[in-house]
Structures are given as C-alpha cells and as structure tokens.
Amino acid sequence: MAANYARAKFHSSDERLREVLDLALPRPGDLALDVATGAGHVALALAPHVRRVYGLDLTPQMLAQAGRLTAERGIKNVEWVLGDALRLPFADATFDLYTVRAAPHHFPDIDAFLHEAFRVLRPGRHAVFVDCAPPAEAREVLHEVEVRRDPSHVRSLTVDEWVENLEHAGFEVGSATERELDWDFEDWMGNMAVAEPLVRELAEVLESASGEARRQLHPERRDGRLWHAYWHCLIRAERPE
C-alpha cells in the first residue's frame, strides 16, 4: 500500500504539488514541517525551497517509501520522523512553516490536531491545510465510500467547517477555497488495492446517489470507467503574532 502512495497520481502530480507550494510560499531560511507526510511528496517538494524540512508520519512503511524517494533524488535537507499529528514531538514555536495534505480526514480529534499545528508554529508564520472537503450533501455519499475503501477515514470537513475549526484554534485564515477535480474512481480505489467486488459495490453507491448529492457528484461512465467530482480545501492560515 505504501508503495502505491509513492507513485499515486494525485499525491505525486507536479500540478498538485505546485498548488501546495503556491499556498505555502516557502522561504530559504525556513524550518518546515510536513505532517502525515506519507511517501513524503510534499516534504520533498518543499526541500529545495527551505533550510530544512521534517516529514512526520504515523506509519513506518510510509516513511520507508519517503526515505527511498529521498535517496533516489539525492535530497539532503529532509528528516523523517515517526510520530502522531495529535501529539507532535517538537517544542512550542519551532517551525516557520507547517503543511498537511490529504490526511486530516483520518484524524480522530480535529481540535487536538489543530492545537498541535498552532503550538509548533512560530508566531507570525503560516500553515497550509489541503484535505478532501466535499460539500455537505455529497459528503454523506462519499463518507460511505471513503470508510469502506479505507476504514481509517474518520470524517471530511467542509471548507466552512475548516474555517470555523481553525479560528477556534487561534489561526487567522488568509485564504480558504474549495477546489473541484474530475476524479478517476478506479484509480482512487487502486491506491488502496480495493478488491474488485467491493469496487463494484462502491461504484454503485456513487452511481445511485440522488438529489443535490448527485448533482454535485455528477457520476458518469466514460469508456466504461467511472468518473465523479471530488473536492479539496486549499487553506493558508497564520498563527498571529
């Protein structure tokens, strides 16, 4: 599974990494932290633009993939740390930049995760949050698909819920947008090596959506492959001085 993430289309795409860099605006002197780094794509994209970057993840197999990619690319200013986003092993006000992508929907306690993000950031510095963020009606349908595809899924937040939670944690939200992508269902299932009978059941869940959720998801077959909408939030927030 970890190897799938090392080459996953969404996670390794230059365009998707560019949008994180455009939000993060890394500076050469920055000490950066990428939380739930997985195979390390975001941390490795930040590395050439910062002094040093730590990539933290709960799963050793993911960090092994990250280490492999680091060696392949000859990158020297990255360190991989085993740890939990909800209990970061770093002192207060350590980092100039905090990023997390495609992971908070796995976290069991959003308050604890945001408290930790705020705590380890230096005042006046920024954090970037990119995660799945469907509109509320589509979320109800996607939730069933997400949990059965990957039981570690907990809940996706809408962009409005993100802003509310971030402000509650003390952040000042500079920008928060929702971005819709045309999503390749089979490719998404492939990242988690979902067995074929379950792939068919989950396709049925999406294709039988009705009402506003269906309008939002607009599932359709193209040459037999299922495509539907999928959403992410793109957020830049500051720990105020």
Ligand X SMILES: C[S@@+](CC[C@H](N)C(=O)[O-])C[C@H]1O[C@@H](n2cnc3c(N)ncnc32)[C@H](O)[C@@H]1O
Q: In the complex, which residues of this chain contact ligand X (CB under 6 A)?
A: 5, 11, 36-38, 41-42, 57-59, 62, 84-86, 101-103, 106-107
* Choice between 62 and 234, CB closer to ligand X: 62
- Closest residue by Cα to residue 180 from 230, 224, 117, 237: 230
Identify which of residues 86 and 205 has a Cβ nearer to ligand X in the complex.
86
Nearest alpha-carbon partner for 36 in 117, 92, 96, 91 = 117
- DSSP annotation of 121 reads E
Shortest CB 89 distance to ligand X, Å: 11
Q: Report DSSP letters for 150-212, one per residue.
A: -TT---PPPHHHHHHHHHHHTPEEEEEEEEEEEEEHHHHHHHTT--HHHHHHHHHHHHT--HH
> In angstroms, what is the minimal distance from the CB of 234 to ligand X?
13
Nearer to ligand X, 48 or 240 (CB): 48
Shortest distance in whole angstroms from residue 153 CB to ligand X: 10
Q: Identify which of residues 5 and 80 has a Cβ nearer to ligand X in the complex.
A: 5
By beta carbon distance, the residue nearest ligand X is 38
Q: How far is the CB of 83 from ligand X (least distance, A)?
A: 7
Question: Are 157 and 219 a contacting pair, CB within 8 Å?
Answer: no
